[in-house]
């Protein structure tokens, strides 16, 4: 914490709060002494009383019943095992329009970015398609954005309705013996409309449109609670217009899917905030009555489509659990060992727990990308660091995910700014998490439902949003990002179909890759191989270029190949491609930032090795690609390796030179902290 004087009248409420709350109930704790860089800010929890996580049998039964409804709809639809990739909005909408209640296929958006390619490749590895194709609808125009009317026509087409008005949709649904489980809320100007149409069409839900006056498209804005209440009342009124029961859990309309960058945090009063998704779906902000479970999907068209397609088409039987909490009350109530036992009938689970859940263990366990589809993490900390049994983890320590995953994270502040990759939540989402339960502020431990209970409900096919939520109290600071109707238990996806893909003019990605390679478009060829799920060919081509045609290893080739090379463990090739890419230190683009994480990830083992540290060229490369969001931690690790290769004086000189060139105060402070830590290590 900053060393500033605190007036007694400000300190007294905190003292009273500390006396009223047992310290172990806080989901963040004071920092122990550590050889790592100390996090810059530790926030003191506000004195707002904490709602306890009260089990409500009725709510649990409703969550299970809703999950069963959702799974029945999914199991009715056969799945064509082809992944369709589109580049434009018109083609996405046209492809979705070829779904029916009995037959569908995944559709993903490739926007050309590194993150988009990573998400698509991640989805393909999990889905295991027989083919991946690219599709462009006839007459698709670049830059065209759909209107609400065109999206509604697609929804009506999927279900064979005359139009998307309430009565026409109800008639069409009745013909399929279908009852809509909820509503999807979207703004036609927001790029998350891709998730809105996918989830409305696949799950058979009403689409409700809002505009910027009803909810600003400003994800990190602190939104007045009264405005959120008006939005909820608007949604209630629209539910009432359907003529279906909506006002209680366990009736017809039990979910609200918010598709847009609406503020994820609402402000009840000064320094008192709540999550938007725990306010929407409640009759009152200060009461326990919930009429629906809510979840939020935001992001660009590619990200939103990915986050919608994952729960519709993927099933995983692998779980990964990491528990830093002691085995004494109240922490033991959240035991991930007990959660693992609850999951054991359906999941192969890997558990790390205390003693031994240290920073070094975390890095050892996450050195290779995780393949699990369900993650549980118990830790403490702030938005930009997480405390382990000993030591700290930072944004760059969030593991690479081999496949898409759902995440339950007990931690403070991880989703305070979910749209920022400089936070834990933003980095988890960037890594491929499509479903996430976490906190927007300090919730305290007691606000979370005990993990064993969450696992039990998930195993009973409860919807994720209902399984994780506490009930019996007012809205609070925990949010659900993703489809609130998602279930994660294996076996909830329809059977694979042998029917032909109902799209004309599709082009297989592997054929496209081969054609691009023949033409000398190596970046395009490598990207196509990655999207097609043939990373072996992508790695072979990239390695051959580095070896035989280094001039062809352009920055575009590096962007396309570095993630695949890193996943294959080709450290030398990653370093070679990064040198060829020649990213400038001031390149703050998302693509460059993602690739820097891959560089630091593949060199991590050698950086910490006392036997075979990196060569000098790699050290220089890392020095030019320090990550500003964790500049202090990167400099400390680099300094230790530098001292191994050269000597302590050279390492300190290197860090001081980096510190001297920082122009922003917060970066100068981080760099100076690294200098101080190096000095401590020397003493």
Phi, psi of 89 (to 5 degrees): -65, -40
DSSP secondary structure, 335-385, as one string: -HHHHHHHHTTT-EEEEEESSS--HHHHHHHTSSPB--SEEEEE-EEETTE
For the cut 60, the answer to whether the pLDDT of residue 462 exceeds it is: yes
Confidence at residue 682, expressed as pLDDT on a 0 to 100 scale? 61
**pLDDT surpasses 50 at 18:** no
Does the pLDDT at position 182 exceed 80?
Answer: yes
Write out pLDDT tens, residues 101-157. Answer: 999 999 999 999 999 999 999 999 999 999 999 999 998 877 788 999 999 999 999
pLDDT of 435 higher than 90: yes
Question: What is the pTM (predicted TM-score) of this model?
Answer: 0.93
Give the residue from 445, 463, 481 where a domain finishes: 481
The answer to whether residue 434 sits within a structural domain is yes
Query: Apex CA 373: angle with CA 372 and CA 377, to 5°?
Result: 75
Q: Examine residue 213 and state whether it is found in any structural domain, yes or no.
A: no
Final residue before a domain boundary, out of 439, 459, 481:
481
CATH number at residue 354: 3.40.50
Determine the average pLDDT of the residues in 496-522.
Answer: 97
The tens digit of pLDDT for each residue in 594-622 reads: 999 999 999 999 988 888 889 999 999 99
Query: Residue 84 domain-assigned?
Result: no
Digit-coded pLDDT (tens) for 635-666? 999 999 999 999 999 999 999 999 999 999 99
pLDDT for the residue 611: 84
pLDDT of the residue at 271: 87
Q: Token digits for 502?
A: 């109902």
Q: Which of 339, 381, 388 is nearest to 362 (CA)?
A: 388
Cα→Cα distances 606→195, 616, 653, Å: 41, 12, 21
Both 607 and 471 in one domain: the answer is no
Query: What's the confidence (pLDDT) of residue 508?
Result: 98
Number of domains composing the chain: 2
- Residue 320 included in any domain: yes
Please indicate, yes or no, if residue 347 is contained in any of the structural domains: yes
Q: In terms of domains, do 466 and 332 share one?
A: yes
pLDDT at 318 over 50: yes
For 48-74, how does the pLDDT look when each residue is reduced to its tens digit (9 = 90+)?
566 665 657 889 999 999 999 999 999
Q: Is 517 exposed, middle or buried (0-12, 13-18, 19+ CB in 10 A)?
A: middle
Q: Does the residue 115 lie in any domain?
A: no
State which H helix or E strand residue 499 sits in: none
Contacts of 447 (CB under 8 A, 6+ apart): 50, 51, 52, 53, 470, 476, 477, 478
Query: Is the Cβ–Cβ distance between 505 and 135 less than 8 Å?
Result: yes
Query: Within this chain, do residues 346 and 477 fall inside the same structural domain, yes or no?
Result: yes
Taking the C-alpha atoms of residue 199 and residue 196, their distance in angstroms, rounded to an integer, is 5
Q: Quick check: is 428 in a domain?
A: yes
206-209 and 182-186: which strand pairing? parallel
| pLDDT tens-digit readout, 396-412 | 999 999 999 999 999 99
Residue pLDDT, tens place only, 252-301: 999 999 999 999 999 999 989 999 999 999 999 888 899 999 999 999 99
> How many other C-beta atoms can be found within 10 angstroms of the C-beta atom of residue 303?
24
Residue 40 confidence class, pLDDT cut points 50, 70, 90: very low
Can you tell me the distance from the alpha carbon of 172 to that of 101, in angstroms, rounded to the nearest whole number?
A: 11
Last residue of a domain, one of 453, 481, 509: 481
- Report, as an integer, the average pLDDT of 303-322: 98
Mean of per-residue pLDDT scores for the chain: 91
The pLDDT of residue 11 is above 60 = no
Is 255:292 a contact under the CB 8 Å cutoff?
A: yes
| Neighbouring residues of 98: CB distance < 8 A, sequence distance ≥ 6 | 502, 503
447: domain range? Answer: 309-481
Under 8 Å CB-to-CB from 638, ≥6 apart: which residues? 607, 619, 622, 623, 626, 654, 655
Statement: residue 17 has pLDDT above 70: no
In a domain, 164, yes or no: no
């Amino acid at each position: 914490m900053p060393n500033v004087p605190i007036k007694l009248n400000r300190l007294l409420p905190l003292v009273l709060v500390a006396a009223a709350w047992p310290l172990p109930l806080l989901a963040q704790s004071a920092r122990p002494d550590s050889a790592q860089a100390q996090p810059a800010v530790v926030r003191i929890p506000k004195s707002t009383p904490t709602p306890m996580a009260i089990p409500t049998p009725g709510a649990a039964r409703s969550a299970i019943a809703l999950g069963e409804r959702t799974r029945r709809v999914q199991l009715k639809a056969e799945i064509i095992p082809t992944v369709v990739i589109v580049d434009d909005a018109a083609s996405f909408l046209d492809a979705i329009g070829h779904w029916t209640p009995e037959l569908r296929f995944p559709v993903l958006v490739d926007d050309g970015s590194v993150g988009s390619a990573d998400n698509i490749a991640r989805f393909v590895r999990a889905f295991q398609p027989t083919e991946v194709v690219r599709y462009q609808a006839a007459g698709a125009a670049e830059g065209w954005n759909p209107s609400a009317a065109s999206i509604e026509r697609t929804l009506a087409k999927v279900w064979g309705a005359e139009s998307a008005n309430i009565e026409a949709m109800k008639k069409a649904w009745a013909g399929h013996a279908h009852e809509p489980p909820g509503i999807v809320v979207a703004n036609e100007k927001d790029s998350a409309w891709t998730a809105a149409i996918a989830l409305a069409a696949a799950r058979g839900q009403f689409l409700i449109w809002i505009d910027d006056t009803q909810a600003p498209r400003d994800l990190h804005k602190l939104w007045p609670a009264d405005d959120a209440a008006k939005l909820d009342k608007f949604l209630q009124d629209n539910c009432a217009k359907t003529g279906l029961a909506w006002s209680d859990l366990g009736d017809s309309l039990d979910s609200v899917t918010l598709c847009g960058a609406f503020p994820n945090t609402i402000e009840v009063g000064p320094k008192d905030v709540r999550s938007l998704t725990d306010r929407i779906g409640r009759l009152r902000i200060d009461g326990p009555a919930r009429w629906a479970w809510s979840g939020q999907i935001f992001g660009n068209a590619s990200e939103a489509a990915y986050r919608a397609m994952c729960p519709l088409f993927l099933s995983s039987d692998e779980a990964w659990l990491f528990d830093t909490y002691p085995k004494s009350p109240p922490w033991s109530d959240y035991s991930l060992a007990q959660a693992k036992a609850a999951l054991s009938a359906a999941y192969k689970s890997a558990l790390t727990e205390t003693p031994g859940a240290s920073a070094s263990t975390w890095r050892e366990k996450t050195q290779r990308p995780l393949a699990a589809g369900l993650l549980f993490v118990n830790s403490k900390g702030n938005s930009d660091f997480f405390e382990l049994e000993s030591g700290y983890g930072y944004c760059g320590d969030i593991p690479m995910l081999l496949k898409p995953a759902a995440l339950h994270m007990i931690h403070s502040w991880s989703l305070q700014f979910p749209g920022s990759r400089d936070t834990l939540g933003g980095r988890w989402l960037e890594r491929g998490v499509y479903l996430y339960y976490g906190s927007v502020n300090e919730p305290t431990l007691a606000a979370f439902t005990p993990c064993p209970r969450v696992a039990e409900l998930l195993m009973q096919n409860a919807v994720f949003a209902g399984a994780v939520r506490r009930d019996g109290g007012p809205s609070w600071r925990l949010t659900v990002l993703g489809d609130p109707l998602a279930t994660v238990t294996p076996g909830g996806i329809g059977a694979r179909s042998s029917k032909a893909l109902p799209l004309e003019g599709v082009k297989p990605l592997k054929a496209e890759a081969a054609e691009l390679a023949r033409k000398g478009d190596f970046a395009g060829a490598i990207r196509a191989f990655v999207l097609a799920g043939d990373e072996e060919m992508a790695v072979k081509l990239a390695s051959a270029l580095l070896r035989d045609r280094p001039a062809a290893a352009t920055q575009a080739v590096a962007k396309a190949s570095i993630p695949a090379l890193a996943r294959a463990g080709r450290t030398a090739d990653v370093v070679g491609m990064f040198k060829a890419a020649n990213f400038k230190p001031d390149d703050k683009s998302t693509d460059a930032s993602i690739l820097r994480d891959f560089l630091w990830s593949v060199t991590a083992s050698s950086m910490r090795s006392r036997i075979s540290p990196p060569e000098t060229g790699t050290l220089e490369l890392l020095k030019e690609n320090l990550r500003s969001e964790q500049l202090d931690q990167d400099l400390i690790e680099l300094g230790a390796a530098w001292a191994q290769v050269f000597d302590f004086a050279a390492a300190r000189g290197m860090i001081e030179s980096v510190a001297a060139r920082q122009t922003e105060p917060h970066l100068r402070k981080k760099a100076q902290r690294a200098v101080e830590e190096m000095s401590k290590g020397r003493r």
